[in-house]
A and B are shown apart, each in its own frame.
Chain A
C-alpha cells in the first residue's frame, strides 16, 4: 500500500450549485445547506456514460453558492469547473396570496435569467413545516395547492422539478423520508446536468481538436481545455480517466514533434523551440505546478516546461492510482524522449544543460517514489528504480567529464566557465527545487565531487546485484573502476575489473574481454604486479582484436622485462598458450619407437601469436620416464599405439584446456560390439554395435559453457615442474605464425609432459600436453634364434637350420664366434651352403662359428646343416654330462610325434650364459612287423611306411636274428633297391628256417639304408628297426571239414550238415610249456585243456546244438582230437567255413597271470626297439618276467580278484588253421522258388 505523504489536496472541490433563497425563514435554509452539502456525497450514484463507456459509481459533492448573475457562464466559456450545474430555488411559502403577489414573480424572473443562459437544470424546493401551518391556521388552504400551483406554473411537463421538504428540522419519519427524497432528487438532477454538460464539453473539445490542422490553432489552448476535463475526472476521483486525458495530450504533443521531424511544422511549436534557459528538472512534490501551468496558458512554456508539467500531473495521478513503478518507467521514457525531442526540434541547449536536467529529474522522481513507499517496498522493486539510478549516474559522469571534475588536474578555466553557465540554468532556488539543485551545485565544488560520485556508483552497483542483473552490475563496477583509476586508486579498481573480466570470459565475449583486459593491464602496471602484468600483456600481445601497434607495445613490455637482469632464481612463469600454440607434434620415424642406435626426432609446430619475432633462449620439453613401459622392449607395443602415423594435431583450445576440454566436448562414445548367436548351433544370427553411455551423450546439457577460445579465457597458471629430463633447443627465433622446432629424443620410454620457452626472465610454460604423447627409444639385447629352414626337420638326414642373429646393442667384433657344443647324435656338418663370411671350425667337442664384424641393430643370418642320427637299436648311450653340468644331449622320445628333440647349447660372446636351443627332428618312417605261418613254416613281414613328404630310395633291407645263429632268415624280396614314395609303404618278407628247434622267442633287427630319391649312394643313411617275436612255434593245427547231409552230394541251404573239426598237436611240448601246464594236471598224463568254439559272425551258418566244447589234448606230437558239430547253411552259394576258435582253457587255480598283448607281437613301432628310457624299461621288465607266476603287483591283484576258470587265446602262429578261408558249395533247396541275391 502506498504511504501517501501529503494529504490529498483537492483543488476543485465540488460541482457548483447556485441557489436563490426565496421568501421565508432565511436561517432555516442556511442551516439546511450545511447538512445538504454533507449528506449529498454519502450515497454513490450510478453514472451512465455516453459512447458506451462503462458506468461508474460516483459520489457527488456540491458547492452551494448564492445566485449571482455574474456567476452564470458567458457565451463561449467552456470552463467546466466553474459551471453551475444546478439552480435551486428555495421557498417556504404556504400562503396563496403571498405566492401570487411576490413569490411567483420572483420565480419568473429567476427562470427567465436561467433561460437566457440556456440553463435548464433547476429545481424548486418548497419547505413545509407544522409551525408555518399552525401560523397560517385561520386561512386554511390545502397545502398542496401551493406546490400544485408552482408545478402548474413552472413545471408544465417536469413535475419532478418541484420538491417538497417537510419538517426538515424534526426527527419524524415523515420528515426523514422527505429529506432522503430530496437528496436523491438533487443527486439525480445534478448527475443528469453533469452528464449533459460533460457531453457537451467533450463534444466541444473534440471539435477543437479537429481544428488542429487549421492555422492559428494553439496546442496550449487545447491543452487547457482537455486538462479541465482531467480536473473534473480527478474531482470525481476518476484518476484513470484523468490520466487518459493527460496521456492523450502527451501523445498529441509527441505526434506534433514527430511531424516536425518529418518536416510538417506547426506554428504553435515555435514557442517550444525556444532555447532552453532553465534546466532545474522535474518538480513533482506539488500536485499542480501552477507556475508552469500559467506559462503554458500564456503560451510561453518551453518544451521542457510542458513536458515537466505534463509528467508531474501524470505522476500525481499515477501515485493516486498507486502505481509508483509506472512512474519510474515513464520517467525514464520521458527523459529519453525529451532528449530526443530537443534534438529533433533543434532546440539550442548549452552543453551539459540537458545532463543537469536529466540528472535532477531522475533524482526528483526517485525522491518522489521514495517519499511514497516503504523502504521494504523500494528494495523489492529496485528493478524499477535502477534504470533511473543508472541514467542519473551516467549523466553525472558526463557532467563530471564535461566540467573537468574527474580530470586529475582539476577543472580548467573553460570548465569553470561552463560550470557557471550550468549553474545559472538551475534557476532560482525555490524551496521545492532547491534541494537537488543545491546538491548539484555542491557537486561542482571540487571537494564534494568524488564523494557523491562514488556513493552513487556504489549504490547502483549493489542495486544491480540485488536484482540479479549481474552483467549490468559488472559494467557499472567497471566504470567505477575506471573512475578509481582516474582518481589514481588502482588498488580499489582492480577487483571490479577482475570481476567484470571474469564475467566476460565465462560468457565468451571477446571484445569486452580485450577491452577490460587492457584496462587491467594498465591497473596492474600501476600496482607493480609484474607477474600479473606480464601475463595480461602476453594475452594482449596475442590478441587479434587489438591493433598491431598495441600488440607490439605489449609484446615489447614482455621483452623489455625479460631483458632486464633480475634475480635469476626467480623466473616468471606464464602460460604458453597465450604466447604460442602447439599445433602439431610429429615423430620421425612415425612409429615414435626406435632402437637406441637410430635417431628419433620430435618435431613441434608452434604457432607463435606474438606480433613480432621473438628470440627464445631455450625451448625445453620436459619428458617423463615411463617406468611401466621402460623395460619391456615393447617394439610392437609402441608401434601399435601410434596409430596416427606419428603426427598429432592439437586443436586450438583443447591443448590449453587439458582435461577440462573433455567436459566441454562431451563424453566420448563408448561402443561395444554385440553378437547374437543362436543357442542351438552357435551360429551367428546378428551382429550390432551398441553405445554404452547414451545417457551421458544424449543428456541435455543445461549449464554448458561457451566454447573456449584461446584468447578469450585466461589460461590457468601453470608452473614448470621441476626435475625430470628435458629435451632442449637453444636460441630459437619464433616468427609470428607457424614455427617448426626439432628435438632429438634420448633413449628410454618417455611421455611428453610440458613445454617451456625461456625468454630472459620469463618462462612460457605449456600445461601438460594432452592427449599424452609417448615415444620410445629402446635398447635391445642381442637375440639368437635357430629355426628349421623347412618344416619339419627329418631325422637321419642332413637338414638345413637357419640361424638368425639380431645384434641389438651389441657390436660384433672381429673374432667373435658362436661356440656350439657338439653332440654325437646331432653332428653339425660342414656345409657348402654356408655364407662365405662365416668360418666354421669344428673340434671334437665344440663347433665354433666365427661371425663377421657387424654393427648394432643388424640382422645376421646364416644356415647350418645338421644331422640327427637315428640311433641303431643296440645303442643305448649313457647320459653324458658337459663340463658346465648341463645335460648336453637329451633327445626326447615322443611317441605321438615320433620325433627327437635335440637341445643345442650355444655360447655367445655377449653373454656368460649358454643359450639353449631345441630342435625337433621327425623320423620319416613308420615300421610294422608281423609273423605269418603256414603249418610249421614261419615268415616274417616288415612294413616300412614313409610318413614324410619326401621320396626315398630304400636299399640293403636286411633282417637279422641276434640270438639264434642256427636260424636262417631267407629273404624273399626280389629287389634290393626299393622306391618309397611319400605316404606309401614297402613290404619285405623273410622265411624263417631252422635246423633243430624253432626258438619260441626271436630277437629280430630290421635294417635298411635310405636316402632321398635321386641322390648318390654316399648319401645313404642306415635305418634300424628292432623287434621281438615270441611263441613262434605252431602248436596245433586245426582242420575243418563240412560233410554234406547223408545222401546228398552237396550241402543244401536249410539242411543240417556236419562240421568235423580235427585238432592236431604238431610239436612236442617245449620245456616252458610243460612247466606251465603240467602243474595243473591232476593225473599223470600231460594234457592240455583246449576250448574250441564255432562261431559264425557273418550269419551264414546256424550252429545247431553245441557250438563250443572243451577237449583234453595230450601234450604229444600228432595227438589228434576230432569234434563233430552240426551246422546249417542259411544261404546258398560258396560259403566260407564258420570260424573255429581254439583257446587255452585255464582252470580256476591256474595262474593266468599275464595275458600277452595280442598286438605286441603283431605290431610294434620302431621306437620301442630303440633307445629305451627308464619309463620304457618297466615295460621290458614286465615282458621279461612273464615266465614267472607272480610278476607284478597289478596282475597279482587281478589274480586274486578273479579265481575263475579262464580262457586264454593262443598267440598268432601257435594255432594254424588249415581250413582258414576255405569255402564250401551250398546248393539252394530244390523247392526254393525265391532266390535271394545278396549284392554287396
Chain B
C-alpha cells in the first residue's frame, strides 16, 4: 500500500513522517516536501471558489514515474500526504480516501491527548500502529 505517510503541520514542518524502511528515506522527505507546493496550489485554488465547504481530500497531487502522491488537508491546515508506489495499480481512489479518513481520525485522537503538546512531533503508539497498518510490505 503506502510507501510513505507524512503529517505536516500548518507551518509546513513535519509532525510525522515515516516511510518504508527498505527505501531511501531522504528521497521521500524531498518528495513530501515538494508535494507541499501542489498542496498549497490546490488549497488556494479551492479556497477561491467555495468558501466554507471544502473537500479535505485533495486527490492526486502529482505522479512521478515511481510514485503517486496524494494529499489531504484538514480544516486546521494540517496536511496529510500519502505516497503510493505507482506499480500498485489496484489501489482505487476510494481506498486512498479511506486511508486518509483513518489517518485523520487517528490524528484527531492524538490531538485529543491532553499530554500531547500541539506542534510537537507525533510519537503516539496508536498513531504509529495505524500508519503501520497502511504501510504493508510492498516488496
Contacts and interface: CB of A to CB of B under 8 A. Distances in A.
Interface of A: 258, 261-262, 332-333, 335-336, 339-340, 343-344, 358, 383, 387, 391, 394, 467-472, 475, 504, 507-509, 511-512, 515, 704-707
B53 to A, nearest CB: 21
B116 interface: no
12 contacts: A258-B90, A332-B63, A336-B65, A340-B89, A383-B41, A387-B62, A469-B34, A471-B36, A507-B13, A509-B29, A704-B10, A707-B119
B34 A471 contact: yes
A333 to B, nearest CB: 7
Contacts of B25: 511
A702 to B, nearest CB: 9
A394 B9 CA distance: 29
B9 to A, nearest CB: 7
A511 B33 CA distance: 11
Contacts of A336: 63-65, 86
A508 B89 contact: no
Nearest to A469: B37
A807 B86 CA distance: 85
Contact of B87 (A343, A391, A472): A343
Nearest to B87: A340
A475 B86 contact: no
B10 A469 contact: no
Given A339-B65, A343-B87, A705 B11 contact: yes
Interface of B: 9-14, 25-26, 29-30, 33-34, 36-38, 40-41, 62-65, 86-87, 89-90, 119-120
A509 B89 contact: no
A1132 to B, nearest CB: 91
Contacts of A344: 87, 89
Given A509-B13, A704-B10, A475 B29 contact: no
Contacts of A508: 11-14
A360 to B, nearest CB: 15
Given A335-B65, A471-B34, 7 more contacts: A344-B87, A469-B41, A507-B33, A512-B30, A706-B9, A707-B13, A707-B120
Contacts of B11: 507-508, 704-706
Closest 5 CB pairs of A and B: A706-B13, A508-B13, A469-B37, A511-B29, A507-B12
A1155 B132 CA distance: 111
Nearest to B60: A333
Contact of B14 (A258, A394, A469, A509): A509
Given A336-B64, A469-B41, A475-B34, A511 B26 contact: yes
A468 B41 contact: yes
A205 B12 CA distance: 53
Given A336-B63, A344-B87, A508-B13, A470 B29 contact: no
Contacts of A705: 11
Contacts of B87: 340, 343-344
Given A469-B38, A472-B37, A333 B29 contact: no
Given A258-B89, A469-B41, A509 B9 contact: no
A394 B29 CA distance: 18
Contacts of B89: 258, 261, 340, 344
Contact of B33 (A340, A343, A504): A504
Contacts of B86: 336, 340
- B9, B13, B25, B29: which has the most chain A beta carbons within 10 Å? B13
A515 B34 contact: no
Contacts of B10: 704
Contacts of B38: 469
Nearest to A703: B11
Contacts of B26: 511-512, 515
A262 B30 CA distance: 32
B137 to A, nearest CB: 18
Contacts, number: 73
A475 B40 CA distance: 17
Contacts of A471: 33-34, 36-37
Contacts of A470: 37
B5 to A, nearest CB: 15
A469 B35 CA distance: 9
A707 B41 CA distance: 24
Nearest to A387: B62
A470 B10 CA distance: 17
A221 B41 CA distance: 44
- A262, A332, A336, A383: which has the most chain B beta carbons within 10 Å? A336
A336 B60 CA distance: 14
Nearest to B120: A707
Contacts of A261: 89
A706 to B, nearest CB: 3
B69 to A, nearest CB: 12
Nearest to B38: A469
Nearest to A254: B89
Contacts of A383: 41
A344 B11 CA distance: 40
Contacts of A706: 9, 11-13
Contacts of A704: 10-11
A512 B13 CA distance: 12
Contacts of B90: 258, 262
A509 B36 CA distance: 12
B65 A333 contact: no
Contacts of A469: 34, 37-38, 41
B50 to A, nearest CB: 21
Nearest to B85: A340
A950 B11 CA distance: 80
Contact of B29 (A467, A472, A512, A707): A512
Contacts of B63: 332-333, 336
A704 B77 CA distance: 12
A484 B30 CA distance: 20
Contacts of A509: 13-14, 29, 33
- A358, A468, A507, A704: which has the most chain B beta carbons within 10 Å? A507
Nearest to A262: B90
A1033 B89 CA distance: 137
Nearest to B29: A511
B122 to A, nearest CB: 13
Contacts of B33: 471, 475, 504, 507, 509, 512
A77 B87 CA distance: 41
Nearest to B10: A704
A340 B90 CA distance: 13
A471 B13 CA distance: 13
A701 B113 CA distance: 22
A358 B87 CA distance: 17
Contacts of B34: 469, 471-472, 475
A508 to B, nearest CB: 3
A471 B32 CA distance: 10
Nearest to A338: B65
Nearest to A708: B13
Contact of A475 (B12, B14, B30): B30
Nearest to B36: A471
Contacts of A335: 65
A613 to B, nearest CB: 30
A631 B34 CA distance: 60
Contacts of B14: 508-509
Contacts of B62: 387
Contacts of A515: 26
A512 B17 CA distance: 13
B64 to A, nearest CB: 7
Contacts of B65: 335-336, 339-340, 358, 391, 394
Nearest to B44: A468
B1 to A, nearest CB: 16
A382 to B, nearest CB: 12
A511 B119 CA distance: 18
Contacts of A475: 30, 33-34
A391 B90 CA distance: 24
Nearest to B77: A702
A470 B63 CA distance: 18
